[in-house]
Structure 1
Amino acid sequence: MRLTVVSGLLVLPLAAAKSLWSDSPGNYSSIITTAFPLGNGRLGAMPIGLPGKEIVNLNVDSLWRGGPFENPAYTGGNPNVSKADALPGIREWIFQNGTGNVTALYGDFPDYGSYQVLGNLTIDLGDMGAVSNYRRSLDLESGVYLDQFKTGNVDITREAFCSFPDQVCVYRLASNRSLPAITFGLENQLSSPTPNVTCQGNSISLYGVTAPTIGMIYNARATVVVPGAKSSSNYCSPNNATVNVPKGHREVLLIFAAGTDYDASKGNAAAGFSFRGEDPYRQVLQTATSAAKKSYSALKSAHLKDFQALSGTFELSLPDPNNSSSKPTTELINSYTLPGDPFVENLLFDYGRYLFISSSRPGSLPPNLQGLWTESYSPAWSGDYHANINLQMAHWAVEQTGLGDLTEPLWRYITETWMPRGAETAELLYGASSGWVTHDEMNTFGHTAMKNDAQWANYPVSNAWLAHHAWDHFDYTQDAAWYEETGYPILAGVAEFWVSQLVADEYFHDGTLVVNPCNSPEHGPTTFGCTHYHQLLTELFTHLLTTRPKTNTLHTTLSKTLPHLSPGLIIGSWSQIQEWKLDLDTRNDTHRHLSNLYGWYPGSSISSPHATNRTVTDAIATTLYSRGNGTEDQNTGWAKVWRSACWAGLNETVNAYAELALAVQENFGPNGLSLYGGSVPFQADANFGVVGAVLEMLVRDKDLSYARLDAAQNGGVGGKVQVQEIVLGPAIPEAWGGGQVSGVRVRGGGRVSFRWDAEGVVDWCEFEGAGRGEGLEEVSFFVKGGGAIQC
């Protein structure tokens, strides 16, 4: 290991370019914990790396059972008649008794459906005999998978990637001598009814439907290309629907394309909420055929140009004190223990960005609970969208790490799928004539109503949490055209709904407006004035009040409503942040959710106006200590990284790092995918959440909306804020000493790069300003301990 000395300080070498690698194949019985994932947003592939009969697990993001594809009368869970008449009685009971229930609003969820695996690609090279020099890897900067091994005097190399420009996955086999005979196949042994597999020319087509009658149609095509072979060569075996390439070739390519007849643009009343598009066969054939005409080098070049333009927008470089880059990733993660390993933490940070690039692209669906990748016919929780932390965590640090353009699937899905059905739900369940609402569990068919268990499903404020991410996209990009066309309508629709739901507090009679009924996500009673709700609404109303002219009708309504909104920050009897307006918190309640700390992180209603208020920050710490370290309640990875981010916001570096390290130790599988409770199922949220937790240690960048609104209300001109204060390295762990980061986006449209010394104190920075926001004239940078630094 090479050491350097800078200004008298010993500096450890920084980690090299990142990749996952192993010196042994994956395991077919444990695909989700051993295979390395590839994706282009729509298509997902997981090569296992078996030398003989290789298996590549395949996914297409829209392949769902259920919904209108199996029941034309599907309503998204909405009742046929209004249930809103039950609300006055529910509210009256809760105000009289403090708590109550919402059973009268429960819905049914027939045909809710499930995400499902597409199938497996098989590549059979026969008996390889003794294999040596085996290695497989996934380059996180290029999105290219590679495995290599030697059998006798033959070296075999297999390479794969999923291309966004060409909308295919590409698999290449090559040898220094000649390849053995290869049999290619497509299969799905889990789906019912079993799909039809045929072979024609050099292409295998898998064509299926998710139900015996109407169902969603899905089609996959694997086209085999043998460079140098005669154009008339036909390697199909129609009897067993395989492509059989004889031995003797040096190179063989496979082009994979897939699709379904799901069409998100048909998820509205005008289209009968059918979501039914065209049979995918023709488009899949055209896509595969077009790509198969291109050379491998052309396909790979286009992929690399596209992928590296995204992965290269941001770089985190932490030290590698243990020379971990020379060890297999599988070994590093399996043996990872406290106090941690900076190389592994850097690797998982890069992996989180990689997984987002691979599962969220324009034209795709947003990442689901498993991102894009499942080997199951019925994955846990249907592989759906849980919107009380999981979907949001996927988008935590996307803007800050230069991937804001990849949030398009979320905005499109909100506007095309959730808003149309959500407007119906708002009226049928809550009597709201404007705006839209969703709940916690949502499928790809616009299920926006409440399921039948209040503890899990009574979460209508999911719409406001999604609006938080729409605001962040605007605040980081300053894209006024996007905000006008997409962002503002999302926020405004949410606000219109919630304005209609606020009622005067008839329990405390304190003149405030509260939400009644409400339920803190997955925790506690149905009551009124839930802290989490009020933090979200304070944030939402503030954002809207700082971005529209006063002549706007909604602006006028919100300006009258916000001052009377019950606060989302109440300090309770044992100095905790209350989770409800009633002081119902129990000491040492180690529930996995931190709903009452949303306004601290990832929200801003506490952290922006009260970051230096010692009474508030002490209450945050008290709440975190009471909530435990995230192992006690279901031992989830996402709970730990949320705790890590909250501790980082308090500049509690030791606790922040300990929680991050604990998540890695407890919740990450050999291939780096995060595991619920430390074992299957895979749940992608913690992979994405690691990125947010690390960013909170690296940079503190306040949302200035509260200061702007305060300035406007106190005589300022146009809500003008003179200085944007950014703290660099507020909670960098000692183990990360001597690291650096480049390309961090900050609110207002700028970006900053910086490095820090062996003690974690930033000693160099460079800032590139851009469109710093309305009325903003100066950006000031500070470092750990409060000192200023010139960038």
Structure 2
Amino acid sequence: MLVSGLSAAFGALALPIAAAKSLWSDSPGNYSSIITTAFPLGNGRLGAMPIGSYDKEIVNLNVDSLWRGGPFESPTYSGGNPNISKAGALPGIREWIFQNGTGNVSALLGEFPYYGSYQVLANLTIDMGGLSNVNGYRRNLDLESAVYSDHFSTGDNYIEREAFCSYPDNVCVYRLGSNFSLPAITFGLENQLTSPTPNVSCHGNSISLCGQTYPSIGMIYNARVTVVVPGAQNPSDLCSSSTVKIPEGEKEVFLVFAAETNYDASNGNTEASFSFKGENPYMSVLKTATDAAKKSYSALKSSHVKDFKEVFGKFTLTLPDPNGSADQPTTELLSSYTQPGDPYVENLLLDFGRYLFISSSRPGSLPPNLQGLWTESYSPAWSGDYHANINLQMNHWAVDQTGLGDLTEPLWTYMAETWMPRGAETAELLYGTSEGWVTHDEMNTFGHTAMKNVAQWADYPATNAWMSHHVWDHYDYSQDVSWYRQTGYPILKGAAQFWLSQLVQDEYFKDGTLVVNPCNSPEHGPTTFGCTHYQQLIWEVFDHVLRGWEASGDDDTSFKDAISAKFSTLDPGIHIGWWGQIQEWKLDIDVKNDTHRHLSNLYGWYPGYAISSVHGFNKTITDAVETTLYSRGTGVEDSNTGWGKVWRSACWGLLNNTDEAYSELSLAIQNNFADNGLDMYGGTPPFQIDANFGLVGAMISMLVRDLDRASADAGKVQSVLLGPAIPAAWGGGSVEGLRLRGGGVVSFHWDDDGVVDSCRVDTSERGSGSQLEFFVSGGKAIDCS
């Protein structure tokens, strides 16, 4: 029995506890279904998915910046922005909507030429010929060390293989070893999907793959595999055509894989003519691979494991294993998982979600896209892009709470370099303002900030406001004033400036409030005014500007005064409709039992706080949230999305409704998570990573209710509820390293009924903010000192 340090300190547990820290199987993955069977590796920039085949192994490879389209397809690429201003249409659009309640934004919509797509890089092939009498196979992905391994026997020969993607050395590494003698091995690189086909050549002990997404103008990409035979001379005659061949008889061989493109986000601005183009990556890749190949395998592995464990180990959830699931292959556990659930699997998927974030978001990389980092496709679903009306946001849920806040740098850099420069142009050309910046729902890596051509998806300028929520969260949990001033606040201020310019008096209800007109609730309903989702988001943006004013270091008092003035009359977007629901629009037009997948009108409940902040937790408002959730369905009805279910789970968790929160969580796992743990959009491919990350947020909302706003009020008491919705199935569990708003870390244990019975808090990083008080389910205070 494995017991966490905190659990051991709190006494013996009634149920066995098993560390859910690895994915494993006693059979290989399937090349025809890589995305549902292979175990993913990554270092932020590079991704790899080994299949685990006995003799003809295939490792699918990705590099995060490999995109077709944009300025790499056409010099006329404009981020979707029109050649001339369309802002003159806004007054007429607004007037029509205020007169009629609804209208359209067809005059603002646009096309999206050269939008492009994320794409697969290559396959690494490792051919050991035909092996016979294979037995004792097992493959394993250790989530704490991020090392993949498999092993098997063939006769008396025992073969073991390991792989990892190292952040310190910026390479992926693959090793083969044997107790007796390895067979002859042929290493290759190939991409049979891409057009034009990349060139593959062999040089000494290295294979180089060079490609360009379009002739002459396209993105240049390069990958290199360097094969090392420890103790050998590594002669230059290992090449055979475009492969490297290692003769039979070696006991150990390893390779290093490096890759880059000439994408350079720092050149995504006016000064660089929005070229996004950097240097040819060939020499940089050569140096990276050469430097890594000079090191021993043990040195490469040691630095990788040390680095990964240091990040992963900042947070630990320990749930019981009542079914002995630790002894069963996780691929079988996931394929057979059904409600009411299995705590071991749920623990495993939370750990896997954190593992995936570490593997796909590291300083210097792009943030995780719709597929994180991993695709086997030339044209993945939705271009593998950045949808930002829930998906990109969900990718970053609970990141700061679970100790991964230092890995959010790719998000801020991406926004600053690819959104804000083009987004300032979009603000002027579509909305007639030179203040701030704006983007819409669907974004590539080249600053596509304008609207696409269908209003339900395209008319979503609230992206900047929702992403500003994540800016504030990072500051609130980290209390890093320097980061806030230099990086976070400029993003937040630009969003606030844009919305200052766009709010208008409500001329429909004539109630003296400021509203957005026009607006479309994400992917749902008509073009109208006062969409509650927008109003809640903007309310929070203005609230954050004012609460963080001192920390921001901003001396622009006219800006602050403008925020204060409009904040006082801003409609906060919280209206209870005729059948008791939180309205999705200011017009009371919600339809009962409309099971649309989005919960846009409940943004201010979770992940936001506007609903609870404006109205508190009184029964009127919690009943309205509950009514909305029941009406919206379970998430099965509309596209059966995993992200829809985990969002529902998080909302139920904050309502202290344990049964519904756990039901939605377990329903998502049952319906949407493949045998390898990756989330499938509707239960089958395509893969969409948001539910992997959203599951972490949902489970954290069941463990703690740590609401925004109180933490910034010095001298006030910040109340934290421990265990708002812990299922009985999780009884006897514990959590260590859960970060709190305003700074601080809490660890706690709960009894067999899910009621927290012991806790401790570290406030050394908290500073001079509010005081903390802790409560448990039922409203009883608990001392965590």
TM range (shorter): over 0.9
Deviation at 1:212, TM superposition (A): 2.0
In the alignment, structure 2 segments of 5+ residues that lack a partner are none
Map of 2:780 onto structure 1: 787
Map of 2:660 onto structure 1: 655
- Given the alignment, which residue of 71, 74, 77 partners 2:77? 74
Map of 2:410 onto structure 1: 409
Deviation at 1:772, TM superposition (A): 3.0
Q: 1:374 to 1:5 in 2, by over 3 A?
A: closer
Map of 2:123 onto structure 1: 120
Amino acid at match of 2:144: E
Contact 1:702–1:726 (CA under 8 A) maintained in structure 2: yes
> Residues 361-395 of structure 1, C-alpha deviation per residue, up to 9 Å, x if partnerless?
00000000000000000000000000000000000
> Residues 385-443 of structure 1, C-alpha deviation per residue, up to 9 Å, x if partnerless?
00000000000100000000000000001111100000000000000111000000000
- Given the alignment, which residue of 538, 551, 564 partners 1:559? 564
> Residues 687-725 of structure 1, C-alpha deviation per residue, up to 9 Å, x if partnerless?
0000000000001111125x86xxxxxxxxxx5442111
Q: 1:7 to 1:535 in 2, by over 3 A?
A: closer
Map of 2:207 onto structure 1: 204
Map of 1:108 onto structure 2: 111
Query: Which aligned pairs between 1:37-436 and structure 2 lie closer than 5 A?
Result: 37-232=40-235, 234-237=237-240, 239=241, 241-436=242-437
Distance in 2 (CA, whole Å) between partners of 1:355 and 1:566 is 38
Distance in 1 (CA, whole Å) between partners of 2:235 and 2:369 is 43
Distance in 2 (CA, whole Å) between partners of 1:424 and 1:435 is 10
Map of 2:646 onto structure 1: 641
Contact 1:107–1:450 (CA under 8 A) maintained in structure 2: yes
Q: SS at the partner of 1:579?
A: coil
Map of 2:581 onto structure 1: 576
Distance in 2 (CA, whole Å) between partners of 1:420 and 1:7 is 53
Amino acid at match of 1:383: G
Root mean square deviation of aligned Cα: 1.5
Distance in 1 (CA, whole Å) between partners of 2:752 and 2:594 is 38
Distance in 1 (CA, whole Å) between partners of 2:146 and 2:350 is 15
Q: 1:207 to 1:6 in 2, by over 3 A?
A: closer
Map of 1:730 onto structure 2: 724
Amino acid at match of 1:53: K
> Residues 646-683 of structure 1, C-alpha deviation per residue, up to 9 Å, x if partnerless?
00010000000000000000000010000011000000
Query: Which aligned pairs between 1:614-763 and structure 2 lie closer than 5 A?
Result: 614-704=619-709, 720-763=714-757
Map of 2:547 onto structure 1: 546
Distance in 2 (CA, whole Å) between partners of 1:773 and 1:84 is 46
Q: 1:282 to 1:8 in 2, by over 3 A?
A: closer
Contact 1:63–1:260 (CA under 8 A) maintained in structure 2: yes
Contact 1:748–1:770 (CA under 8 A) maintained in structure 2: no
Distance in 1 (CA, whole Å) between partners of 2:409 and 2:30 is 35
Deviation at 1:231, TM superposition (A): 4.3
For the pair 1:598 / 2:598, whether they are aligned, the reply is no
Amino acid at match of 2:776: V
Amino acid at match of 1:107: G
Q: SS at the partner of 1:392?
A: helix
> Residues 760-779 of structure 1, C-alpha deviation per residue, up to 9 Å, x if partnerless?
01111110003436542x21
Contact 1:531–1:578 (CA under 8 A) maintained in structure 2: yes
Q: SS at the partner of 2:115?
A: coil
For the pair 1:514 / 2:515, whether they are aligned, the reply is yes
Distance in 2 (CA, whole Å) between partners of 1:119 and 1:551 is 51
Contact 1:64–1:113 (CA under 8 A) maintained in structure 2: yes
Q: 1:5 to 1:447 in 2, by over 3 A?
A: closer
Distance in 2 (CA, whole Å) between partners of 1:9 and 1:657 is 25
Q: SS at the partner of 1:352?
A: helix
Map of 1:714 onto structure 2: none
> Residues 572-620 of structure 1, C-alpha deviation per residue, up to 9 Å, x if partnerless?
1011000000001000000000000000000011134434211000000
Q: SS at the partner of 2:412?
A: helix
> Residues 28-81 of structure 1, C-alpha deviation per residue, up to 9 Å, x if partnerless?
000000000000000000000000100000000000000001101110000000
Deviates more, 1:565-574 or 1:223-232: 223-232
Moved over 4 A (4+): 1-10
Distance in 2 (CA, whole Å) between partners of 1:611 and 1:560 is 23
Contact 1:5–1:11 (CA under 8 A) maintained in structure 2: no
Distance in 2 (CA, whole Å) between partners of 1:390 and 1:2 is 35
Q: 1:8 to 1:73 in 2, by over 3 A?
A: closer
Contact 1:601–1:607 (CA under 8 A) maintained in structure 2: no
Amino acid at match of 1:344: V
Distance in 2 (CA, whole Å) between partners of 1:603 and 1:2 is 37
Q: SS at the partner of 1:694?
A: helix
Percent identical among aligned pairs is 71
Map of 1:589 onto structure 2: 594
Deviation at 1:568, TM superposition (A): 1.2
Contact 2:20–2:345 (CA under 8 A) maintained in structure 1: no
TM-score under structure 1 length normalisation: 0.97
Map of 1:444 onto structure 2: 445
TM-score under structure 2 length normalisation: 0.97
Q: SS at the partner of 1:575?
A: coil
Deviation at 1:9, TM superposition (A): 9.1
Distance in 2 (CA, whole Å) between partners of 1:10 and 1:194 is 58
Contact 2:205–2:235 (CA under 8 A) maintained in structure 1: no
Contact 1:220–1:258 (CA under 8 A) maintained in structure 2: yes
Distance in 2 (CA, whole Å) between partners of 1:649 and 1:273 is 43
> Residues 517-553 of structure 1, C-alpha deviation per residue, up to 9 Å, x if partnerless?
0010000000000000000011110010112158622
Q: SS at the partner of 1:346?
A: helix
Deviation at 1:17, TM superposition (A): 4.7
Contact 1:532–1:598 (CA under 8 A) maintained in structure 2: yes
Distance in 2 (CA, whole Å) between partners of 1:613 and 1:39 is 45
Distance in 1 (CA, whole Å) between partners of 2:33 and 2:772 is 50
Contact 1:668–1:674 (CA under 8 A) maintained in structure 2: yes
Q: 1:634 to 1:293 in 2, by over 3 A?
A: same
Deviation at 1:13, TM superposition (A): 1.2
Q: 1:17 to 1:333 in 2, by over 3 A?
A: closer
Q: SS at the partner of 1:269?
A: coil
Distance in 1 (CA, whole Å) between partners of 2:317 and 2:32 is 34
> Residues 181-230 of structure 1, C-alpha deviation per residue, up to 9 Å, x if partnerless?
00000000000000000000100000000012310000000000001112
In the alignment, structure 1 segments of 5+ residues that lack a partner are 709-718
Q: 1:544 to 1:773 in 2, by over 3 A?
A: farther
